[in-house]
Amino acid sequence: MKIAIVDDEKDMRQSISQWLALSGYDTETYASAEDALKGLTPDYPGIVVSDIKMPGMDGMQFLKKLKGVDSTLPVIMITGHGDVPMAVEAMRIGAYDFLEKPFNPERMTELAKKATQARRLTLDNRALRKELSDGSAIMSKLIGASPVMERLKEDILDLGQADGHVLIEGETGTGKTLVAHALHAVGARANKRFVLIACSAYDEEALSRRLFGPVEQDDPIPAMEEARGGTLVLEDVEALSPALQARLLTALNEQGTPAETRIIAICNLQDEGKTCESVLRADLFYRLAALRVTVPPLRQRGEDILTLFTRLSEQFADEYGCDAPQVSAQEAAQLLQAPWPGNVRQLINVAERAVLQNRRGTGTIASLLMADNEESEPAMTTEGKPLKEFVEAFERMLIDNTMRRHKGSIVAVMEELCLPRRTLNEKMAKYNLQRSDYLQG
């Protein structure tokens, strides 16, 4: 986080800058408010420390200008002795805090630490809201080009534009919450509130208050009110008691058509013979299931498994500062044939452990899969899948990994894979691999 220091006195600017730099901050100094305004943007990654009394634009005027640029930007004001009433007025306008000269440098560091923490939280939340409202960013997280994933993406784009309530079903770990985010992000409510409630995390009384109120001291706004005009996601909707189901149905009926708040219900039932329809009262089920999405299990996604494993292992390798494991043909076949009872969540765990094993130089992907699936029933990704399809999936993964490693250098890929250029071009066309996707920006 940066700290912009604004003071017309050179010695004061330098002393504050040196002290904060010794405390680990990246500082930049300005001799006037006019100069500082040129470098302070709405998403400035830091805070401002400014003197109040300066020639030209003084600190109070500067503060008002900054609040117009970004109302959440923390500004610490420095005031001379006897100017405390002015500093109090600055706090009323929106200053984060003030220091009276001569001030204790330790106090300056303490305030800077609190202000930068607040700024970081604000910027993180702002980035998250932007991501949740950016349909393309969310959709890019739905990795995979298998027929079932292409169909899921089409469903999201279609249903996201609709305005009815949605029921999302699928096995544990398939990414149902990500689909809920995507449905919101690609729809007309993308810039409205997105509120997610995990119903199974509350007892009945607490869940009733969280959804409908009345609120007690320190309780957040009831979710139905908080999400007004936007989207309310109910994870583990099957955990709603009969009384809460009735109350939710009443709330939905009172909204009218089109619904003021869109409900996306996520059902996580895993018991044999039980469905969301069997545990919810019929009238509520048919209201929530006006539109339905089923997220496919990983074992039905074919070569997406290899694509996901590659992306995840690269991410973990970058995080741990080591190389990602190279997947052999045998290991690729094992990844494709594994039953994956935990779906994508399980694949994430396997990829992380594979990277850690590779860093130590011990273990195999096969051993990880055996440990994960030893209590599972034997299963195939798809029944009767010909060897040719497994070979093609491995071939695509191998070319994709090599292109990524060499950042799109065709010559380097040709040399490593011992392929003539024409053959490589034909295979890249066959597997829909574009060189432009691997070039460094």
352 vs 187: CA distance, rounded Å: 34
Residue 126: pLDDT above 60? yes
Local structure of 393: helix, strand or coil: helix
Tokens at 70, concatenated: 């970004």
Split at pLDDT 50, 70, 90, the class of 128 is low
Average pLDDT over residues 307-322: 91
**pLDDT tens figures, 244-268:** 999 999 999 988 778 889 999 999 8
Least confident segment among 18-27, 62-71, 75-84: 75-84
Instruction: Give 297 or 136, the one with higher predicted confidence.
Output: 297
Which of the four pLDDT bands, split at 50, 70 and 90, describes residue 365? confident
- Whether pLDDT at 193 is above 50: yes
Residue 375's φ and ψ, nearest 5 degrees, are: -100, 5
Whether the per-residue pLDDT at 389 is higher than 80: the answer is no
Could you tell me the pLDDT band of residue 227, with boundaries at 50, 70 and 90?
very high
Of residues 222 and 133, the one with the higher pLDDT is 222
User: How confident is the model over 128-142, as a mean pLDDT?
Assistant: 73
Q: Is the pLDDT of residue 378 over 50?
A: no
Which of 72-104 are b and which e, b meaning 16 or more Cβ less than 10 Å from the residue's Cβ? ebbbbbbbeeebeebbeebeeeebbbbbeeeee
Give Cβ neighbours of residue 59 (< 8 Å, ≥ 6 apart): 6, 33, 50, 51, 52, 53, 77, 78, 90
Range list of H helices, 291-364: 304-320, 329-337, 343-360
- Does residue 309 contact residue 315 with C-beta atoms inside 8 Å? no
Residue 151 has pLDDT above 90, yes or no: yes
271, pLDDT greater than 70: no
Phi, psi values for residue 366, rounded to 5°: -60, -40
Location of structure tokens 């809920």: 180
Identify the residue with better confidence: 138 or 376.
138
Band (379; pLDDT cuts 50, 70, 90): very low
Read off the pLDDT band of 384 (50, 70, 90). very low
Predicted confidence at residue 362, as pLDDT, reads 78
- Please report which confidence band the pLDDT of residue 217 belongs to, taking 50, 70 and 90 as the band edges: low
**Residue 372 confidence class, pLDDT cut points 50, 70, 90:** low
User: 3-state class of 2 per DSSP?
Assistant: strand
Name every residue whose Cβ is closer than 8 Å to that of residue 172 and which is 6 or more positions away in sequence.
268, 270, 342, 343, 345
Distance separating alpha carbons of residues 334 and 93, to the nearest angstrom: 63
User: Is the predicted pLDDT of residue 382 greater than 60, yes or no?
Assistant: no
Could you tell me which residue, 392 or 37, shows the higher pLDDT?
37
Q: Which two tokens stand for residue 213?
A: 């109120």
Cα gap 39→3, rounded to integer Å: 12
Q: How far is CA 388 from CA 31, 80, 393, 430, in A?
A: 70, 79, 9, 14
d(CA 373, CA 368): 9
Tell me what pLDDT residue 441 has.
45
What's the mean pLDDT when you consider all of the chain? 86
Q: How far apart are CA 17 and CA 392, in angstroms?
A: 59
> What integer pLDDT is reported at residue 215 of this predicted model?
73
